[in-house]
Amino acid sequence: MSQANLKTKPKKPPVALIQAMMNITSSLQNFRAKIMPPQVAMVEMINAYQVSQAIYVAAKLGIADLLRNQAKSSKELAQLTGMHEQSLYRLLRSLASFGIFAENEDGRFSLTPLAATLQTDTPDSVRAWAIMSGEKWHWDLWGNLIESVKTGKTAVEYTFGKPNIFEYFVQNPQAGNNFDEAMTNLASMNNSAIATGYDFSGISTLVDIGGGYGSHLSTILKAYPAIKGVLFDQPSVITGAQEFIEVNGLADRCELVAGDFFQSVPSGGDAYLLKTVIHDWDEPQAIAILKNCRRAMAEHSKLLLVEAVIPPGNTPYFGKLLDLEMLTTSGGRERTEAEYRTLFDAAGFKLTKVFATASPWKVIEGVGC
Q: Among 138, 216, 279, 300, which one carries the catalytic annotation?
A: 279
d(CA 259, CA 347): 20
- Which residues touch 319 (CB under 8 Å, ≥6 apart)? 308, 309, 310, 334, 360
- The H-or-E segment that residue 104 falls in is none
CB atoms near residue 251 (< 10 Å)? 12
Contact 347, 287 (CB under 8 A): yes
DSSP-derived secondary structure for 293-335: HHHH--TT-EEEEEEEEEPSTT---HHHHHHHHHHHHTS---E
Q: Degrees (nearest 5) of the Cα angle 313, 314, 318?
A: 110
CB atoms near residue 9 (< 10 Å)? 7
CB atoms near residue 59 (< 10 Å)? 26
Give φ, ψ of 10 to 5 degrees: -70, 150
Contact 82, 145 (CB under 8 A): no
Is 279 marked active-site? yes
Q: Degrees (nearest 5) of the Cα angle 95, 329, 271?
A: 105
Q: Which of 211, 171, 167, 204 is CA-nearest to residue 305?
A: 211
Q: Where in the sequence numbering do the catalytic residues fall? A: 279
